Amino acid sequence: MIPNIDSPKYQGQRKFMVSKLKSLGINNKNVLNALNSVPRHLFMDPGLISHSYKNMAYPIDSGQTISQPYTVAFQTELINCKEGDEVLEIGTGSGYQAAILSYLGFDVFTIERNITLFKKSSLIFKNLSIKIKKNLLGDGYLGIADSAPFDAIIVTAAAKEIPKNLMNQLKVGGRMVIPIGEDEQIMYRFTRIEKSTFKKEEFGQFKFVPMVKGK
C-alpha cells in the first residue's frame, strides 16, 4: 500500500481524471480504483507536477515518457489479471505503471534498460513501500527467463516486431499486451492458447517511445 502522503487537491484532481477515463471507455472498477489511489504526481518530473492528472504523456529522464493515464488504464485492463497473478512489465520508466499493477495485488516483475530510470524508480518503490517481486536492470527483449512463465506481460514501449523471447515466457492462457510499429503502433494482445499457438487481437493505434535492445 502507498502511505498517506497525499493532499485533498491531488485527490480531487485524480477523481476528475478517473471520471474522464470512464467517459473514454475504461470500465474495470479495480483499475479505476487503482488510478484513483496511486499518486501520479510522485512519479512526475518536478517541473511538471501541476500537469500530473491531465490525460497526457509527459517527458521524464533520458528521453523517455510517463504514459498518459488512459494508456496505463487501457493496457492494465487488457491483461485481465486477478490478485496474485504474476505480471512482467517491460520498461519500468517512471515506475507508475508498476505501482498500479502492485496496487492491484499482482506479483510484479519489472525490467528497465536505462540505469538512470532504474535508480530513480527503485528509490520511489522503496520510499513509497511499493511491493515489487523483482526489479531488474536489463534488456527487456530478453524478459526474465528464470522467473517465467508469467500470467501476463505488459510492454510499455513500441517494438518493431513480436519479441519471441517474451512470447515464450507466457503461461498457457497467459496474455501479452504490446504496441507494435514504428511511427505509430497498433496495440496487440497475444493469448497463449497452447505451447505453439497464440490468439492475436488488435486494439487500435497508440504512440509509444521505441523499445530498444540492450542496456
Phi, psi of 175 (to 5 degrees): -130, 135
Q: How many CB atoms lie within 10 A of CB 123?
A: 11
**Which residue, among 106, 196, 121, has the nearest Cα to 152 in the 3D structure?**
106
**Which residue, among 48, 54, 43, 45, has the nearest Cα to 13 in the 3D structure?**
54
For residue 69 the three cell numbers come to 493515464
Mapped onto helix, strand or coil, the DSSP state of residue 89 is: strand
* Catalytic-labelled residue, pool 19, 23, 50, 67: 67
50 annotated active-site: no
CA angle at 64 for the pair 191 and 24, rounded to the nearest 5°? 55
- Omega before residue 149 within 30° of 0, cis: yes
Residue type, 210: P
User: Which residues are known catalytic residues?
Assistant: 67
